């Protein structure tokens, strides 16, 4: 039987809902989880048939504690664990709880709204919603900071290579490590910078999204620290699907960072560079304006595994 991954390599969409749920220890939990796995498969099949051009999908991730609580297969995915916070001299990549993560996306907001309703109806008896964020495409794929986001994303076959587990963990081949962070931006402080100074923080031009040369780009710019290499200088990448969100009346503006990776080691190395610095102390300057208020690691099983979990 061929492996069929969930839609972890789909390109960012126009509308997104992110949901994080905490499971309660109740007798009917495992039965509801079986129904949930079947529902996720059904939702994806349904929207593909009904709205083939909407690029709609529902991706479910499972956290470390949930994997144990639900008695899912052992040994579990090699790098699935509770995310451990990364503490730098000034900023911290916090660790926050989460048992299930849902990434709903579509061109049509109505589609993901209805998917969210169905998931919530099923889970409400056994779980608590601890985070829900409605993201949207901002102009030409820019963050609310005004810069294009995701330029370094891999394309084509590279998306599969960097996002999906290979035969190094054959039991979970085709799965993916999902890491998420909710960032809040200090827009007043950000807007106090000149465009030139903002560009130095990011490492790219604001208008045309052109990367600065290595001679000009500051060593603590976001681009300099978020791009990482392996021990032999090979390029390491993750597939990002970040989305802006905001509540203007509450002066709340942010970015929901979401990444899919074949190994969490790559994501962790990127986070370490950002928060601790490379060398230590030379942390990512963007963190002076963007604060991570969540941080959770999940595993995204294949559709084949969801089918098995559904009983």
Q: Is 25 a catalytic residue?
A: no
* Neighbour count for residue 150 (Cβ, 10 Å): 15
* CA distance from start to end of the chain: 17
The catalytic position among 10, 114, 149, 197 is: 149
Enumerate residues 6+ apart whose C-beta is below 8 A from 297: 63, 64, 80, 81, 82, 83, 177, 178, 179, 264
Using CA atoms, how far residue 282 sits from 5, 218, 276, 287, in Å, is 38, 10, 7, 11
Q: Which residues are CB-contacts of 85 (< 8 A; sequence separation ≥ 6)? A: 92, 93, 94, 95, 295
Nearest to 57 by CA among 72, 71, 43, 70: 43
CA distances, 249 to each of 128, 246, 252, 253 (Å): 27, 9, 8, 10
Name the 3-class secondary structure at 97: coil
Catalytic residue annotation: 149
């Amino acid at each position: 039987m061929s492996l069929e991954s969930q839609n972890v390599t789909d390109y960012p969409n126009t509308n997104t809902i992110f949901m994080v749920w905490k499971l309660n220890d109740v007798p009917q939990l495992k039965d509801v989880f079986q129904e949930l796995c079947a529902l996720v498969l059904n939702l994806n099949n349904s929207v593909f048939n009904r709205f083939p051009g909407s690029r709609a999908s529902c991706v479910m991730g499972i956290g470390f504690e949930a994997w144990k609580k639900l008695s899912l297969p052992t040994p579990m995915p090699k790098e699935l664990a509770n995310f451990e916070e990364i503490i730098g001299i000034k900023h911290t990549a916090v660790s926050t709880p989460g048992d299930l993560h849902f990434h709903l996306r579509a061109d049509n907001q109505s589609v993901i709204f209805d998917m969210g309703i169905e998931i919530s109806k099923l889970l409400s008896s056994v779980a608590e919603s601890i985070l829900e964020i409605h993201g949207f495409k901002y102009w030409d794929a820019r963050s609310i900071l005004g810069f294009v986001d995701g330029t370094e994303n891999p394309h084509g076959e590279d998306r599969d290579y960097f996002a999906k587990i290979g035969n190094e963990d054959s039991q979970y081949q085709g799965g993916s490590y999902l890491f998420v962070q909710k960032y809040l931006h200090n827009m007043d402080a950000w807007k106090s910078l000149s465009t030139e100074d903002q560009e130095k923080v990011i490492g790219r031009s604001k208008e045309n999204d052109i990367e600065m040369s290595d001679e000009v780009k500051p060593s603590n710019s976001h681009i300099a620290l978020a791009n990482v290499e392996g021990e032999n200088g090979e390029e390491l990448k993750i597939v990002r699907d970040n989305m802006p969100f905001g509540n203007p009346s509450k002066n709340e503006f942010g970015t929901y960072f979401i990444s899919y990776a074949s190994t969490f080691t790559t994501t962790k190395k990127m986070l370490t560079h950002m928060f601790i610095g490379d060398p230590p102390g030379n942390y990512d300057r963007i963190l002076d304006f963007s604060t991570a208020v969540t941080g959770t690691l999940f595993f995204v099983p294949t559709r084949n595994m969801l089918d098995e979990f559904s009983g």
